[in-house]
Amino acid sequence: MHKTDMPNKNRFFLAGVVGWPISHSFSPLMHNYWIKQNKCIGLYLPLAVQPSGLATALSVLKPLGFSGCNVTIPHKQMALKIVDEVDETANTIGAISCITVKKNGSLLGTNNDWYGFVANLKYEYPGWRADTGPAVVIGAGGASRAVCYGLMREGVKEIRLVNRTFSSADLLASQLGTSIKPLPWETRHKALEGVTIVVNTTSQGMIGQPALNISLDHLPKNAIAADIIYTPLETPFLTMAKKRGNPTLNGIGMLLYQGIPAWKQWFNIETTVSLELRKIMESSLITG
Catalytic sites, residue numbers: 76
Q: What is the dihedral of CA 173, 175, 179, 181, to 10 degrees?
A: 10
What residues have CB less than 8 Å from 64, skipping those under 6 apart?
14
**DSSP code string of the chain:** ---SSPPPTT-EEEEEEEESS-TT--HHHHHHHHHHHTT-EEEEEEEE--GGGHHHHHHTTTTTT--EEEE-TT-TTGGGGTSSEE-HHHHHHT--SEEEE-TTS-EEEE--HHHHHHHHHHHH-TT--GGGS-EEEE--SHHHHHHHHHHHHHT-S-EEEE-SSHHHHHHHHHHH-TTEEEE-GGGTTGGGTT-SEEEE-SSTTSTTSPPP----TTS-TTSEEEE---SSSS-HHHHHHHHTT--EE-SHHHHHHTHHHHHHHHHS------HHHHHHHHHHHHH-
Going from the C-alpha of 150 to that of each of 41, 68, 141, 144, 280, the distances in angstroms are 33, 23, 14, 10, 27
Give strand pairing partners of 182: 161
